[in-house]
Amino acid sequence: MRGPHNIVRLIRTGATLVRTGAMNVVLDAFDAPRPLRAVAWVLGWPFQWLGYRGDPSMPPATRALTALGPAYIKFGQVLSTRPDVVGAELAQQLRVLQDKLPPFSIGEAKKAIARELEVDADTVFSELSEPVAAASIAQVHKARLRDTGETVAVKVLRPGIERAFRKDVDAFYLAARIIEIAAPQARRLRPMDVIEHFDGVVQGELDLRLESSAASEFAANTANDKGFQLPKIIWPYSGRRVMTLGWAEGVPMGDNDAIDAAGHDRRDLAARVLQLFLNHALRDGYFHADMHQGNLKVAPNGDIIAYDFGIMGHIDEYTRRVYAEILFGFIRKDYKRVAEVHFEAGYVPADKDVDEFARALRAVGEPIFGMDATKISMGRLLSYLFEVTERFGMETRTELILLQRTMVVVEGVARSLDPHMNIWQVAQPIVETYIRRSIGPAALVRDLAKTALVLSRFGPRLPELMQDVLVRQANPQPEAPSRMRLRVGLLWALGGIALGVCLSFLILLGAG
C-alpha cells in the first residue's frame, strides 16, 4: 500500500496544517531545515481548499491532528509527552489529545461487544455506562458484571479503526522517505525506523488481547512492589476488540486538590512514581510506557494504580546495564565513564575521541547539576545529551525511544506532585542498587551460569560438529564455503566461551 497514491494523503495533511494555522507551529517546533519547509509548503499552500477545517475552538496543532484522524492523533499524544523535542508550547497544545476526544455511541459499543464476545452485552453486564474516557483508538465504559456484581472497566476499539490507521501510517512511511531525501541532515534521526517502531507499538494497541497479555505479565513482575497495584484482567470477557478489567477506584493523579483532600502525601507519591518506573525499567526490563496522569490514580489506601497497558516498553538486559551506567555516571559526575560506556555500547563511532566526548558531556552535566534542585531535569539532560551525541555522529536508538520518552513523562508527573523534588537524589538509590546487582561478582556468576546453560545445549552436538569440520577439511568440497566458515567460527566461539567460563570460575575461586 506504500506508494505514490499516498501523496494525496500528504497533500491533504499539508493543506490541513495550513488551513488550521498549524503549519508554522509544527515546523518551528521541530526546527525544520529550509528544504523541508519548502516541501511542506508546496504540499500544503496551493491546496488549502482540500484541507480539513477542524474545530476552530482548539489550538492550531490540536485542531489539525484531530481533524486528520486516529494515527495523527496518536502521533500527537506521543509528541505531547516530549516537550524537550517539540517545545513546551506545542506539547501543552497537544496534551488535550490524551483522553478528551469525542466518543462513539453506547449503541455502537454494545454491538462491538456482542460481536466480539458472541453474546448480548446486556446478558454480560447488568449496567453499562456512557463512555467515561475516549481516546484515539478506543473508549472506556464503567460496567457491572451480571454474574458477580463486580464493577469493571470495559475498553472497546473504535469502529473501523484498523483500516483508518493502516491508511494513515502508509502515508507516514512516504513522509519519512521524503524527509530523508529533502533533508539529509535528518537521516541521523532515522525517520523510517521511527515510523516502523511507532507502527509496531500501535499495532499492539489494535489487538486488545495483546494489551491484556501485557497487563498480566506486568502484574506478575510487580506483584511484590509495595504501594503499587494494577486492575486484574477479566479474561472470559476480553478479546481482540474488547477488554474487561477491574475498575480502578481512586483519585486521579493529575488532581492535586483531590489528592490533598484525601490526605495523601504528594511528596511521597512523587518519589514513589519515579522509583517504581526506574525499578520496572532496570530490574524487569518491562515497563508502562504511557505513564501520564491520565493513566494513574491514587487508591484510598495510598497505592498508585496504573492502567491502560496499550504501550509497554521492553529493553534487554545488556541495554539496561548500559542505560544504568550512563545514569549512574551522571549522578556521580564521572563523565569519562559515561563517555566510555557510549563507546563500549557502540552508540558513538569508534573513530571519535573518547576524551573529547567526555569533555562535551561535562559541558552538558555541570550546568545542570549546578542548578537549584528544583530545576534539575532529566528531560533537559536528555535534550542536551542529544545535541552532543549528534555532533559526535550518534544515530537515534529506536529501542530506547520509549524509555527516553517515558522518563520525561514520569519526571513531569513527579514534578506536578512535588515541584521541589530533587530528581537525582530520588533516582540514585534505585540506580545504585541495580548497578550493584548487575555489575559485580554476583552478576558475573549469573552470567556464567547462563553461558554454561547455553553450552550444555550445544554440548551433545560438539563431537558431531568437530568431526564434520575435520572431514570437510580433509575432503574439501566446492560447496557453500560460507557455511564452512560458519561452522568453524561456531566451534571457535564455543571453545572460547568454554575457556572463558573456566578461567572466570578460577578467578572467582582465587578471589574467594
pLDDT tens profile 92-143: 677 667 556 688 999 999 999 999 999 999 999 999 999 998 888 899 999 9
How far is CA 351 from its chain centroid?
Answer: 30
Same domain flag for 312 and 416? yes
CB atoms within 10 A of CB 389: 21
Band the pLDDT of 151: cuts 50, 70, 90: very high
- d(C-alpha 2, C-alpha 39), whole Å: 19
- d(C-alpha 45, C-alpha 203), whole Å: 32
Same domain flag for 259 and 226? no
DSSP string for residues in 132-149: EEE-SSEEEEEEEETTT-
- Please say if the pLDDT value at position 464 is more than 80: no
The pLDDT, as a whole number, for residue 221 is 96
The pLDDT, as a whole number, for residue 495 is 54
Same domain flag for 156 and 232? yes
Whose CA is closest to 94, among 138, 124, 133, 64? 64
3-state secondary structure of 19: helix
Same domain flag for 358 and 468? no
In this prediction, residues 286-311 reach a mean pLDDT of: 91
Ranges 78-87, 220-229, 361-370, 463-472: which has the least confidence: 78-87
pLDDT tens digits along 194-220: 678 778 778 878 899 999 999 999 999
Task: Give the residues across from 144 on adjacent strands.
Answer: 127, 151
Band the pLDDT of 79: cuts 50, 70, 90: low
pLDDT tens digits along 493-505: 555 555 555 545 5
* Count: domains in the chain: 4
Same domain flag for 199 and 272? no
Entry pTM: 0.74
Percent of the chain with pLDDT over 90: 31
Whose CA is closest to 140, among 100, 168, 97, 80? 100
- d(C-alpha 194, C-alpha 421), whole Å: 32
- d(C-alpha 470, C-alpha 477), whole Å: 12
pLDDT tens digits along 419-431: 888 887 888 888 8
Average pLDDT, the chain: 80
Same domain flag for 268 and 403? yes
3-state secondary structure of 183: coil
Same domain flag for 424 and 317? yes
Listed residues 399, 416, 439: the one ending a domain: 439
Residue 41 lies in a domain: yes
- Please say if the pLDDT value at position 305 is more than 80: yes
Ranges 219-228, 235-244, 419-428: which has the least confidence: 419-428
Of 290, 334, 351, 353, which is the active-site residue?
290
Residue 21 lies in a domain: yes
In this prediction, residues 469-474 reach a mean pLDDT of: 68
The pLDDT, as a whole number, for residue 511 is 47
Ranges 178-192, 222-236, 403-417: which has the least confidence: 178-192
The pLDDT, as a whole number, for residue 496 is 52
Rg over alpha carbons for the chain, rounded to the nearest Å, is 26
CB atoms within 10 A of CB 501: 16
- d(C-alpha 132, C-alpha 496), whole Å: 60
Percent of the chain with pLDDT over 70: 74
Same domain flag for 44 and 134? no
Same domain flag for 186 and 224? no
The pLDDT, as a whole number, for residue 262 is 94
Residue 173 lies in a domain: yes
Listed residues 203, 218, 235: the one ending a domain: 203
Residue 92 lies in a domain: yes
Residue 63 lies in a domain: yes
Residues contacting residue 39 through CB under 8 Å, at least 6 positions apart? 178, 182
Residue 1 lies in a domain: no
Same domain flag for 271 and 306? yes
Residue 379 lies in a domain: yes
What is the domain range of residue 492?
443-511
Ranges 212-216, 240-244, 317-321: which has the least confidence: 317-321
In this prediction, residues 351-372 reach a mean pLDDT of: 83
Q: Which residue has the higher pLDDT, 344 or 44?
A: 344
Cβ(116)–Cβ(241) below 8 Å: yes
Q: Is 290 an annotated catalytic residue?
A: yes
Whose CA is closest to 322, among 341, 337, 308? 341
Same domain flag for 221 and 345? no
Listed residues 232, 247, 262: the one ending a domain: 247
- d(C-alpha 294, C-alpha 97), whole Å: 11
DSSP string for residues in 392-414: TTPPP-GGGHHHHHHHHHHHHHH
Same domain flag for 33 and 120? no
DSSP 328: H
Most confident of 66-75, 266-275, 359-368: 266-275
Which set of grid coordinates corresponds to residue 195?
515510523
Residue 505 lies in a domain: yes
- Please say if the pLDDT value at position 271 is more than 90: yes
- Please say if the pLDDT value at position 336 is more than 60: yes
In this prediction, residues 273-300 reach a mean pLDDT of: 92
